[in-house]
Amino acid sequence: MGAVTILGVRPGANADTLSCAAANLESLLTFAGVTDTLTPLAAPCTADVTSPDRLRLSPVPLAQWLTRTTGLTLERWTASTADEVLQFAADVVMSGRPVLVHADAYTVPWNPYCGHEHHAHAFVVDGVDDNRLHMIDGYTNATRYGTAAPIELWMKRAELAAVLAPPPDERWAVEQLTGAARATQSGLLTSFEIITANVRVRAEAEAAGRGLASLAAWADKDHIAGLNLAIWLLTRSRTAHERWWHTLNPATTSVDGGECVAAWKMAQTLAYIAWRRVTAGKPCPTSIADAVLAAADAEERWFTQMAEWAQPRSTDEGRFSETPNIESAL
């Protein structure tokens, strides 16, 4: 066996509240020296609903917000084959940086959805030897196919390349963080700015008929699979946002997101039950629509309270009145 490179990436502290991609991006942020990972990953929290599978949850592009809050740049590289992706990943790891590999969960051997459902997934590659890669996956979730828990493993590169497929309807992609991390911009001004942006996008969506309550219209047998996933993402997003919220000035603790998070968790449970019923050939329960409306109402109250807290303190309103498309610069 040749020389072994292993960078020692560890799962992040908030994997239980983040989506799979965000949970593994947290591992890269921690490796890069970022101590406050909630501000980059959980502070942006909004809602603009076109359909269950077109759900905008952040008011600003992730790469822009990461650079603003950490000083790091999220670089994305695309390819045509699994061999190209894994070779690129190995080369970057050999240079001393871990990477995120984006793939179809249906083809990721250690993922509970492998062989069952197609979903976008991402995992970390942080080690390489002459014919193997070392993976870290912090994804945490209870699924109908088993429990996803943080895992690390070695796998032969050729075997992995033979089974992996790109994310559904996307190209192969690898992401890495470059630059030097600075102290996360988690101060009050940053908090006021992102809360203002969160509320602004929500208000614009509501005015256009794309608010969270519109999800209730998709609570039927033809759309329950997409709705189930959308509510899962919303629940993770709101749970992480509440955790971030409680890291702010202690004066904010009188404004609590617990009711909102509990309501989305209830909607998530009912959506999962509804989806299982529909897949078993049974009617879709009507209770899911009521649960979505209740969660949307609870969220409206919480976000209104956060906006009222932030508004008189903000000295730089409108910083994110426009959200520039910076992806072309990455």
| Model pLDDT for residues 216-271, shown as the tens digit of each residue | 999 999 999 999 999 999 999 999 999 999 887 656 667 889 999 999 999 999 99
According to the model, what pLDDT value does residue 330 have? 25
Q: Nearest to residue 22, comparing CAs of 141, 114, 180?
A: 141
Q: Nearest to residue 155, comparing CAs of 138, 173, 135, 172?
A: 135
CA distance 69 to 207: 30
According to the model, what pLDDT value does residue 308 have? 86
According to the model, what pLDDT value does residue 186 have? 59
According to the model, what pLDDT value does residue 324 have? 33
According to the model, what pLDDT value does residue 187 have? 59
According to the model, what pLDDT value does residue 43 have? 94
The DSSP call for residue 50 is E
C-beta atoms surrounding 314 within 10 Å: 17
Model confidence pLDDT, tens digit, residues 290-330: 999 999 999 999 999 998 887 765 444 444 333 333 222 22
According to the model, what pLDDT value does residue 316 have? 45
pTM, rounded to two decimals = 0.90
Provide the β-strand partners of residue 152: 136
Terminal-to-terminal C-alpha distance of the chain: 37
Which residue ranges in the chain fall short of pLDDT 50?
314-330
pLDDT over 90 for what percent of the chain? 78
CA distance 298 to 303: 9
CA distance 314 to 188: 9
Q: Nearest to residue 17, comparing CAs of 164, 186, 233?
A: 233
